[in-house]
A and B are shown apart, each in its own frame.
Chain A
Amino acid sequence: MRPQIRQLAGLLVACFLIGSVHAKLNIFACEPEWAALTQELAGGHATVFAATHAGQDPHYVQARPSLIARLRSADLAVCTGAELETGWMPMLQRRARNPKVLAGKPGYFEATQQVTLLEKPAELDRAEGDVHGDGNPHIQVDPRRVLEVAMALSSRLQQLDPGNKPNYEQLLQDFTARWKASIERWQSAAAGLRGKRAVVHHREWIYLLDWLGMQRVGSLEPKPGIPPNMAHLADLKTQQADVIILSPANDKKPSAWLQEQTGTPVVMLPHTVGAVPNSDNLFDLFDEIIRRLSESART
Chain B
Amino acid sequence: MNKTILNAAVVVALSLPVGAVSANPAGIAELRQMILEMKQQHQQQIQALEARVQQAETRAAAAEQKARSTEGKIVAVEEQVQAKPRSGDNSFNPAISLVFQGGFSSYSQDPEDFHLEGMPLGGEAGLQDEGLALWETELTASANIDNLFYGQATIGLHTHEGEIEVDVEEAFVDTLSLPAGLGLRFGRFYSSVGYLNEKHTHAWDFADAPLAYQAFLGGQYRDDGLRASWVAPLDALFVEVGAETLRGDSYPGGGNSGDFGAVRNMFVNVGGDIGQNNSWQLGVSRVDVDVEERSAGGHAHDDDGESPTFNGDSDLTVVDAVWKTDLGNDKALIFQGEYFRRDEDGQVTFAEGAGEALFNYDGEQDGWYLQGVLQFNRQWRAGVRYDRLSADNDLTMVSNTTGEADDDIFEESGYQSSSHDPDRWAAMVDWSPSEFSRVRLQYARDDSRAEDTDDQIYLQYIMTLGAHGAHQY
Contact = CB atoms under 8 A, between A and B. Distances in A.
A83 to B, nearest CB: 6
Contacts of A83: 87-88, 468
B77 A152 contact: yes
A69 B435 contact: no
A107 B197 CA distance: 33
> On chain A, which size bracket covers the interface?
35 or more
Nearest to A151: B77
Interface string A78-98: 000111011111110011111
A133 B91 contact: yes
A104 B470 CA distance: 20
B80 A113 contact: yes
Interface in A147-201: 148, 151-152, 154-156, 158, 169, 172-173, 176
Interface in B257-299: 269-273, 276-277, 279-281
A91 B87 contact: no
Contact of B470 (A57, A87, A97, A173): A87
A64 B276 CA distance: 13
B183 A97 contact: yes
Nearest to A176: B74
Contacts of B239: 69
A90 B79 contact: no
A65 B239 CA distance: 8
A90 to B, nearest CB: 5
A81 B434 contact: no
B471 A66 contact: no
Contact of A65 (B435, B436, B473): B473
A72 interface: yes
A39 B147 CA distance: 30
B275 to A, nearest CB: 11
A284 interface: no
Contacts of A134: 87, 91
Interface stretch (A13-21, A265-273, A290-298): A13-21
B1 interface: no
A16 B180 CA distance: 8
Contacts of A94: 150, 174, 176
Contact of A103 (B90, B233, B270): B90
A129 B434 contact: yes
Contacts of A249: 329
A73 interface: yes
A60 B471 contact: yes
Contact of B89 (A15, A86, A126): A86
B67 to A, nearest CB: 14
Nearest to B238: A65
Given A60-B378, A126-B436, A172-B74, A90 B328 contact: no
Contacts of B76: 151, 154-155, 158, 169
A62 B472 contact: yes
Contact of B330 (A57, A91, A148, A151): A57
Given A65-B279, A126-B434, A73 B233 contact: yes
A132 B88 CA distance: 9
B231 interface: yes
Nearest to A114: B80
B148 to A, nearest CB: 9
Nearest 9 Cβ contacts at the A-B interface = A65-B271, A65-B238, A151-B77, A99-B177, A69-B238, A87-B471, A91-B470, A66-B273, A97-B181
Given A69-B232, A102-B177, A104-B147, 7 more contacts: A64-B473, A66-B238, A103-B88, A113-B79, A113-B84, A130-B435, A155-B78
